[in-house]
Amino acid sequence: MERPEDDFAPFGVIWELESDSNSEEDGDEQETDLSQEMAETKEKIAEIEQASQALLAELSSMEAEYEIEKSCREQAEAFAIQVSRENQKLKRISLALLPRLGLHQEDFAVLSSGEQTLPGPAPDPMGRCLQQVKDLQLRVSWLLEEKKELSAQVKDLQAHVEKLQHQLQEERVEKQSLKTLKEHSQKMLTRVKRASRLVTEEYGRMSLQLDLEEKLRQQAEIFAQQMLVKQKEAHRQSLILMQNVGAEAQLLLALQEVAEMSKELEEAKMEHQAKVKELEAQLVERPLPEELARVQATLAAAEAGKAHLEEGLLRAEEKCATLEHKVKVLEEGAKAPDTPEEHPVIPVPPPPPPPPPLPPPTWSAKTDPLMALRERKGAQPVKRGEDLCSDDATARAVEEMMARIKSGVALRPVRRGPESSPQPPSAAANKRRSVAMELQDLLANRRSRLQEPQCTPD
């Protein structure tokens, strides 16, 4: 019987499990029938062996009787021959003695006839023995034939038993092979179920990751567009201020910081876009769990960078609000007269409230986003306390400047040549007022454009 092949299709074996179980049940029933038939055959063989043993015992006893009768017959025949010889000898002696005794031939004939008639009953035991011998021979021949028939039946039964044993052995081998095939198919089915479960989990995880990446890409595109618009506005404002206004050092520093932050935001946006593209390229392929963990770490870093960018945007808005407040103060100072005696000192209005904060990021970063951004750019990590100190210093300098303007400090006139006529102070005040109004309009437009993306729904 051939062994089942080891390299079979796992899905084909799964569909054949039911047929294998049915064949296994049929094999069990056949094995039970064969075992019952073998038990009956063994009982018949035992009965035949007992009958053959009894027959052999009877045959041996009959053979012994036959030997005894044969020896008796031989002894009787020898005794009869000896008696006949002795009778002939006595007859010759008697014939030699007749002339001497004076007996006649007729008397001798009478004596001989009387001798022959007297031993008449003697041959009866001999015939009886011969008849018994014949009967025993017939019985022995009949027993031999019966023995041959029984031996033939025993041989047939032994051949049938051997055939049944061979068939039982084949059924056992087939049952063992089916059992092995069933175990192998169960193992393959377990492996296929485990692989399908892992593939399903990986597919769900990858689909969630893809949806998240698509949302992040859309948010990054919107954020990049906003940053580009803000950068252009800041660049245009800085150009206008550099060309038309001789602004103070603190305002120039604030604008430079806004430009630097816009540049950093643009670079962070480019890095984020590059990372998103790299993640999309990795998602096209089927990443391993290690690659998924690395991608998740990269995504967390990108979210941290996004949180940092949002924080920088919030700071930029705060600085814009501060600059707007400064412009308002400058405008009020420009409207004030040149001498402090004519009008009292106007109190400083409170700063405007900060704009509403941006929505929190989707991923919570455990590290400082500003620190992570500076580490990616290769700069030295700066603590948040130092930024607060620099902002405080800037605010103090601006307050001091505004106090000096409100106190009526006269500006030094510009020396001109003798040909040029002196410019009235009202012209300088009007020029300063116009520049302040233009700066205020620019800042208001920038702030309104910054607040428009926040008001629009996602």
Specify the range with the lowest mean pLDDT, choosing from 223-227, 323-327, 371-375, 396-400.
371-375
Mean pLDDT of 213-241: 81
- Residue 157 pLDDT greater than 60, yes or no: yes
Specify the range with the lowest mean pLDDT, choosing from 112-116, 274-278, 360-364, 444-448.
360-364
pLDDT at 386: 47
Burial class of residue 333 in the structure, from the number of CB atoms within 10 Å of its CB (0-12 exposed, 13-18 middle, 19+ buried): buried
User: DSSP of 128-187, one letter per residue?
Assistant: HHHHHHHHHHHHHHHHHHHHHHHHHHHHHHHHHHHHHHHHHHHHHHHHHHHHHHHHHHHH
pLDDT at 252: 67
Mean pLDDT of 1-23: 48
**25 or 215, which is more confident:** 215
pLDDT at 391: 56
Q: What percent of the chain has pLDDT over 90?
A: 1
Specify the range with the lowest mean pLDDT, choosing from 225-229, 380-384, 403-407.
380-384
CA dist., res. 368 & res. 188, Å (int): 50
pLDDT at 85: 86
Q: What is the pTM of this model?
A: 0.27
Spatial neighbors of 29 by CB under 8 A, at least 6 apart, are none
Other Cβ atoms less than 10 A from the Cβ of 212: the count is 16
pLDDT tier for residue 316 given thresholds of 50, 70 and 90: confident
- Residue 173 pLDDT greater than 50, yes or no: yes
Quick check: 234 and 445 in contact, CB under 8 A?
Answer: no
Mean pLDDT of 226-247: 72
pLDDT at 381: 41
Q: What confidence tens digit (pLDDT) does each residue in 47-99 have?
A: 888 887 887 888 787 788 778 877 887 887 887 888 888 888 887 887 777 67
Q: What percent of the chain has pLDDT over 70?
A: 55
Q: What confidence tens digit (pLDDT) does each residue in 354-392 have?
A: 444 444 444 433 444 445 545 554 544 444 444 445 556
- The angle, 0 to 180 degrees and rounded to 10, between the axes of the packed helices 289-335 and 384-406 is 10
Mean pLDDT of 96-106: 61
**85 or 424, which is more confident:** 85
Phi then psi for residue 31, to 5 deg, are: -65, -40
pLDDT at 295: 74
SS3 of 328, please?
helix
SS3 of 313, please?
helix
pLDDT tier for residue 431 given thresholds of 50, 70 and 90: low
Mean pLDDT rounded to a whole number for the chain: 69
Mean pLDDT of 247-273: 73
pLDDT at 403: 65
pLDDT at 273: 80
- Residue 457 is classified by DSSP as -
pLDDT at 369: 46
CA dist., res. 244 & res. 227, Å (int): 25
| C-alpha to C-alpha distances, 103 to 88, 94, 98, nearest whole angstrom | 19, 10, 5
- Residue 16 pLDDT greater than 60, yes or no: no
pLDDT at 450: 63
Spatial neighbors of 191 by CB under 8 A, at least 6 apart, are 10
**55 or 175, which is more confident:** 175
